[in-house]
Amino acid sequence: MALNPQYDAIGKGFVQQYYALFDDPAQRANLANMYNETSFMTFEGVQLQGAVKIMEKLNSLTFQKIGRLITSVDSQPMFDGGVLIDVLGRLQTDDDQPHAYFQTFVLKPIGISFYVEHDMFRLALHDCDEDPPHPYMQTFVLKPLGDSFFVQHDIFRLGIHDVA
């Protein structure tokens, strides 16, 4: 398979669709259609595999109201036709304080569509007494090369939000 030239539009469209479903508690169950039994999710350090376990985790979240600001969506085409997507945003649930978050998706082609092969979510929280530095996210996709690896994809983003 070749690189998908529509990777940027696919990434932005996917993010819009995913968060529209996720942010509506009545629609969240429909996210099950985006995962399959080989999908992986890391949610705040907890690793899950398979659509059933991923949906159990998502359905266990107790907040009802979500305020979300997407600061950036960075996408790269993958050599198998997939798309690597990094999202930086701010998230506020119910009446909690807003927090920066990072989320990474790897979409893999299946027929004329895609499924989420990997999904990693992390709030950008710092446990320190000092003025925390800006959070950042760096995503690497490594590929084997003999007895070692090489970096096939690298996305770096500072967690700086341009909001008034």
As for how many domains the chain has, the answer is: 1
Whether residue 50 is contained in a domain is answered as: yes
Does residue 89 lie within any of the structural domains? yes
- Residue in the block written with tokens 């998908």: 4
Domain contains 73: yes
Full-model pTM: 0.82
**Residue 110 confidence (pLDDT):** 92
Q: Is residue 62 part of a domain?
A: yes
Following DSSP, what letter does each residue of the chain receive, concatenated? ----TTHHHHHHHHHHHHHHHHT-TTTGGGGGGG--TT-EEEETTEEEESHHHHHHHHHH-----EEEEEEEEEEEE-TTS-EEEEEEEEEEETTSPPEEEEEEEEEEEETTEEEEEEEEEEE-----SS-PPPPEEEEEEEEEETTEEEEEEEEEEE------
CATH code, 101 = 3.10.450.50
Residue 150 lies in a domain: no
Residue 99: predicted pLDDT = 85
21 is a domain residue: yes
**Domain assignment present for 144:** no
| Residues of the chain with confidence (pLDDT) below 50 | 164
Per the structure, the complete domain to which residue 51 belongs is given by 6-136
Q: Is residue 95 part of a domain?
A: yes
